[in-house]
């Protein structure tokens, strides 16, 4: 459980052997990530974030309702590398969003983080979030460009800031304003800085926490 999370009684959770669970209970959402853990490595991963739009008296029951035991072992996992020949690396994940109040709402988001090593050992980071959700006919993508100080070996430096520019590319239109949940959370950002924290799980997987959105999810390194 992330240190920023509200309390969760993990003794009430129906956890399964060979699984890792990462939980974060925010002000208005619950982040739940699961990793099938085989030979000390993450194998299959799922990320789910639930918008809490009504009072949730028993968050542990809500977590149990959304746990899965259906993750399957990938017998041919991608071999992870330290970085490419230029010292660059990419992180990627898929996240499902639902609501505890609106059972018809669903959204899917793909997060991509492209770390480009600079001569001064810092990184340029290009982030994109491709989102499809109820209330929007089509998809939209949010792009942002950061400067980052980042320790690739340990994923420790945590803070990414100085958001230089951001933009939105739409591939559709708003169909029902009342159904939108991700759209306002993603684009109505008055903060000058956007902080992302990365916590290493193993050679290829890390847990990411976004202070701007108050959510967490597992990302995978890829080339």
Domain spans of the chain, in order of start: 10-75+84-222
Side-chain half-sphere exposure of 141, counting CA atoms within 13 A: 10
105 CB contacts (<8 Å, ≥6 apart)? 51, 97, 98, 99, 133, 134, 135, 179, 181
Specify the pLDDT at position 154.
58
Q: What's the pTM value of the predicted model, to 2 decimals?
A: 0.87
User: How large is the C-alpha radius of gyration of the chain?
Assistant: 18
Side-chain half-sphere exposure of 176, counting CA atoms within 13 A: 8
Residue 19: Cβ within 10 Å count: 15
61 CB contacts (<8 Å, ≥6 apart)? 12
The H or E element spanning position 32 is strand 29-38
Q: What is the C-alpha separation between 108 and 96, in angstroms, rounded?
A: 5
The tokens of 214 are what?
Answer: 């108050």
Specify the pLDDT at position 175.
92
Nearest to 100 by CA among 31, 54, 148, 158: 54
Specify the pLDDT at position 158.
47
Full pLDDT tens readout for the chain, 223 residues: 998 999 999 999 999 989 999 999 999 999 999 999 888 889 889 999 999 988 877 899 999 999 988 888 877 655 555 555 667 888 999 999 999 989 999 999 999 988 888 777 777 788 889 999 999 999 998 887 776 666 666 554 445 555 555 777 888 899 999 999 988 877 666 555 667 888 888 888 999 998 878 899 999 987 6
The 3-state DSSP composition of the chain as helix, strand, coil percent (nearest 5) reads: 10, 50, 45
Q: Are 26 and 215 in contact (CB under 8 A)?
A: yes
Q: What is the C-alpha separation between 175 and 136, in angstroms, rounded?
A: 5
121: left (phi over 0), alpha (psi -120 to 50) or beta: left
Q: Are 70 and 95 in contact (CB under 8 A)?
A: no
């Amino acid at each position: 459980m992330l240190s920023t999370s509200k309390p969760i009684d993990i003794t009430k959770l129906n956890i399964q052997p060979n699984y890792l669970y990462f939980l974060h209970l925010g002000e208005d959402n619950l982040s739940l990530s699961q990793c099938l853990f085989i030979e000390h490595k993450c194998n299959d991963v799922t990320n789910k974030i639930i918008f809490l739009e009504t009072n949730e008296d028993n968050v542990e029951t809500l977590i149990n309702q959304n746990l899965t035991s259906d993750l399957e072992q990938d017998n041919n996992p991608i071999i992870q590398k330290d970085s490419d020949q230029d010292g660059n690396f990419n992180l990627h994940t898929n996240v499902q969003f639902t609501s505890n109040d609106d059972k018809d709402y669903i959204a899917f988001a793909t997060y991509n983080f492209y770390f480009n090593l600079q001569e001064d050992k810092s990184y340029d980071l290009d982030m994109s979030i491709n989102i499809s959700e109820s209330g929007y006919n089509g998809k939209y993508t949010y792009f942002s460009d950061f400067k980052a100080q980042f320790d690739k070996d340990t994923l420790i430096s945590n803070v990414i800031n100085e958001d230089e520019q951001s933009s939105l590319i739409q591939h559709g239109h708003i169909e029902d304003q009342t159904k939108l949940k991700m759209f306002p959370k993603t684009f109505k950002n008055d903060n000058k800085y956007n902080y992302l924290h990365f916590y290493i799980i193993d050679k290829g997987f890390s847990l990411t926490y976004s202070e701007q959105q108050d959510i967490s999810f597992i990302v995978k390194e890829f080339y």
